[in-house]
Amino acid sequence: MTDLLEVRSLEVEFDRGAPVLDGVDLQVRAGEILGVIGETGSGKTTLARAVVGLAPVVAGRISVDGLDRTRLRGRALREVRRAGAVQYMFQDPLRSLDPDLTVLRLVGQPLAVAGVPAGERRQRVLEALDLVGLDHALAGRRPALLSGGQRQRVALARAIVTRPRLLLADEPVSALDASNRNHVLRLLDGLRRELDLAVVLISHDLESLAGVADRLAVLYRGRIVESGPAADVLGRPLHPYTALLAASAPGGGAARRAELAVLRAPAPARPEVSACAFAHRCPFADAGCAERPAEAEPLPGRTVACHRAADWRTPEAS
Ligand SMILES: Nc1ncnc2c1ncn2[C@@H]1O[C@H](COP(=O)(O)OP(=O)(O)OP(=O)(O)O)[C@@H](O)[C@H]1O
């Protein structure tokens, strides 16, 4: 299967500062959910915004369905955006939904932008509400009269109403309680199957991603430090930073606690070690880490950017 989204050597820089994304590579196939995990400030939102053309890309390539979007300008770019094949679901639906518009208008907006005639829009909005499990009776309501879970589903309906090929969902469940969180995650899982959607699901919460993502990419300080099938990445992290994340997540098993114990060891002071993004926090860093680690593929479908990937685990943590 070919990749629907392909990101290669992406660099994003604001105001000529240090790069916020630094050589990011990833790919997502149709019908697949890629979870992007990383702590606050690691660049997750910037990555999603770059894909929809809202962040300053200084190098690299972002291809959707084989078309490199970083090279599009002017009219060609407007046309591609208008068609709505890529949709971005913002982090906070309360702030991203216009409080003065009804659900019908809000969900119909991307269709209006895409030039769908008004007569057709209502029907398509109602279909989108069905897909996210929202009652048609809510179509006349404004966001203030909806619950948090309903608002998030309105945001989802709006994101899929154009039948996009790619959905970027930025922390779609972080503001929800556990039951609504599960509901929205199950919905996303159903939608990617039903619509053959490629989904990039961003979260700082591993638990949310674990049950629904096919693959994970771990972002640290603007670099992908590890990627691979979700169960493998979480079950046996190859990068010390992923191990730290997995061990810190609720439900980490005995092996994970062992990893955590190892990782809690104070990082030795190695001012000379700085080329690896994680070296300053890594108890396993040695002189070799002064070189930026190349992304290796130790197993098919898995990548890791760590010089010590093969030998940092103690027998206790293996
Ligand atoms: N418009 C901007 N101008 C300057 N710097 C920015 C801008 N947007 C983001 N940044 C910087 O880029 C870095 C990554 O931010 P980003 O929001 O992508 O991280 P994140 O991983 O999504 O964090 P969070 O989980 O808190 O949302 C941060 O250091 C942030 O300050």
- Span 175-185, mean pLDDT? 86
Quick check: 134 and 153 in contact, CB under 8 A?
yes
- pLDDT confidence of residue 294: 85
Which of the four pLDDT bands, split at 50, 70 and 90, describes residue 262?
low
ipTM above 0.95, yes or no: yes
Domains of the chain, first to last: 1-85+203-235 (3.40.50.300), 237-317 (no CATH)
Closest ligand 1 atom to Cα of 47: 18
Pocket test residue of 10, 11, 12, 20 for ligand 1, highest count of atoms within 8 A of CB: 20
Which of the four pLDDT bands, split at 50, 70 and 90, describes residue 291?
confident
CA gyration radius for the chain? 21
Does residue 315 have a pLDDT over 60? Answer: no
For 268, phi then psi, to 5°, come to -65, 150
Residue 182: both structure tokens together = 């599960």
Any residues with CB less than 8 A from the CB of 54 and at least 6 apart, and which?
88
Task: Output the CA 38–ligand 1 centroid distance in Å.
Answer: 12
Half-sphere exposure of 290 (CA within 13 A, CB side): 7
Task: Output the CA 40–ligand 1 centroid distance in Å.
Answer: 8
Pocket test residue of 13, 36, 44 for ligand 1, highest count of atoms within 8 A of CB: 44
Task: Output the CA 41–ligand 1 centroid distance in Å.
Answer: 5
Does residue 133 have a pLDDT over 70? Answer: yes
- pLDDT confidence of residue 135: 96
Closest ligand 1 atom to Cα of 204: 25
Sequence letter at residue 201 = L
Per the DSSP assignment, residues forming a β-bridge with 219 are 224
Quick check: 77 and 83 in contact, CB under 8 A?
no
This prediction has a pTM of 0.92
- pLDDT confidence of residue 318: 47
Percent of the chain with pLDDT over 90: 58
Closest ligand 1 atom to Cα of 46: 18
